[in-house]
Structure 1
Amino acid sequence: MGDFATNARRLDPYKNFKFRVKWDGRYVLGVSKVSVLKRTTEMVKHRSGGDPSGSFKSPGRTEYDAITLERGVTHDRGFESWANKVWDYGSQPGGEMSLADFRKDIIIELLNEAGQVVVVYNVYRCWVSEYQALPDLDANANAIAISKIKLENEGWQRDIAVAEPKEPVLANA
């Protein structure tokens, strides 16, 4: 049996539309979408030559899927600066990549409807493998210009020190 929440009155699961992303100790403004956190463990089949024709299955290597962050295009250069640490067009030969600091750990915080932090994941050793500076531009469209970065990573872990918060009660409501 798993652990049960301490808030017996909350029956609703948390929503997916309130969240924050943090790196370098500060929140990244304007992030509107974070792709799924997903890991896959390969299955390894094996059998002994004297066994019947069935086989055994055991876990093999575990891989963590890349994470994509999206946000509206602004003058904030956070996505671009990080992407340029992996490949900086126009730099001197031998200086195209910032080997000392192209990786970052990031934090993804899920918030409840009242804006309280309820679930936190730490994502380790991320680096930008894809950077989309601008989307398709279309004079007939009516949409926000979105930039994206794709982050390769070496794993993530839930921060179990984050406890379920006491949900607020509105007075005089």
Structure 2
Amino acid sequence: MAQTGVRVDPYTNFNFLVELDGIAQASFMECTGIESVTEVIENRQGGQNTTVLKAPGKTTYSDLTLKWGLTDSTELWEWRQAIIEGRVLRKNGSIVVYDLANKREVVRWNFVNAWPTKWEGPAFHATGHETAVETLVLVHEGITRAV
């Protein structure tokens, strides 16, 4: 619990790392889709005409989308290619947030049994000057917060 009079700043969204079993990809510029949703099951009971009882149903997890600047690294491409060839290689991973000094891990989400469902190559523009960005979408079977 926070102490009275002690300032607690929220963490920034740019100082993060994505870890994937056995893949040494450098850093990612974006990671989105950290989300879970539990369906609502509505039940009407006799004698209670003014309200509907609500209970939790199954929980689903959103796909994780990773974006990074194009390099000569092929590890993520090869992982996606294995899926296309029918070799499902599931990996566990983590999304880790660090403090501003980049010395201390402050938040970690662990996801399990992930595999790439979509790869998107960079868009090229003859007059552009932005970084060429690749995108990989991962499906997974659950995410938990560890810190």
TM over 0.5, yes or no? yes
Q: Distance in 2 between matches of 1:104 and 1:10?
A: 38
Which residues of 2 match residues 8-87 of structure 1 at below 5 A? Answer: 9-25=6-22, 27-87=24-84
2:106 aligned residue: 118
CA contact (8 A) 1:20 1:27 kept: no
**TM-score computed with the length of structure 2 as normaliser:** 0.89
2:139 aligned residue: 152
1:170 aligned residue: none
Please point out which of 125, 140, 153 is paired with 2:127. 140
* Partner deviation per Cα, 1:62-90 (whole Å, 9 max, x = no partner): 10000000000101112201111210xxx
Q: Distance in 1 between matches of 2:118 and 2:46?
A: 46
Q: Report the alpha carbon displacement of residue 45 of structure 1 after superposing the two structures with TM.
A: 0.7
1:104 aligned residue: 91
Closer, same or farther: CA 75–14 of 1 in aligned 2, 3 Å: same
Q: Distance in 1 between matches of 2:33 and 2:111?
A: 12
Q: Distance in 2 between matches of 1:117 and 1:51?
A: 50
The structure richer in strand per residue is: 2
Alignment RMSD: 1.9
CA contact (8 A) 2:96 2:105 kept: yes
Counterpart of 1:142, as a letter, is H
- Give the secondary structure class of the aligned counterpart of 1:110: strand
- Give the secondary structure class of the aligned counterpart of 2:51: coil
Q: Report the alpha carbon displacement of residue 18 of structure 1 after superposing the two structures with TM.
A: 0.4
Percentage of matched positions with identical amino acids: 29
Q: Which has the larger radius of gyration?
A: 1
**TM-score computed with the length of structure 1 as normaliser:** 0.77
Q: Distance in 1 between matches of 2:22 and 2:108?
A: 15
Structure 1: which 5+ runs fail to align?
A: 88-95, 161-173
Q: Which runs of 4+ in 1 moved over 4 A?
A: none
Q: Distance in 2 between matches of 1:113 and 1:27?
A: 23
Q: Report the alpha carbon displacement of residue 12 of structure 1 after superposing the two structures with TM.
A: 1.2
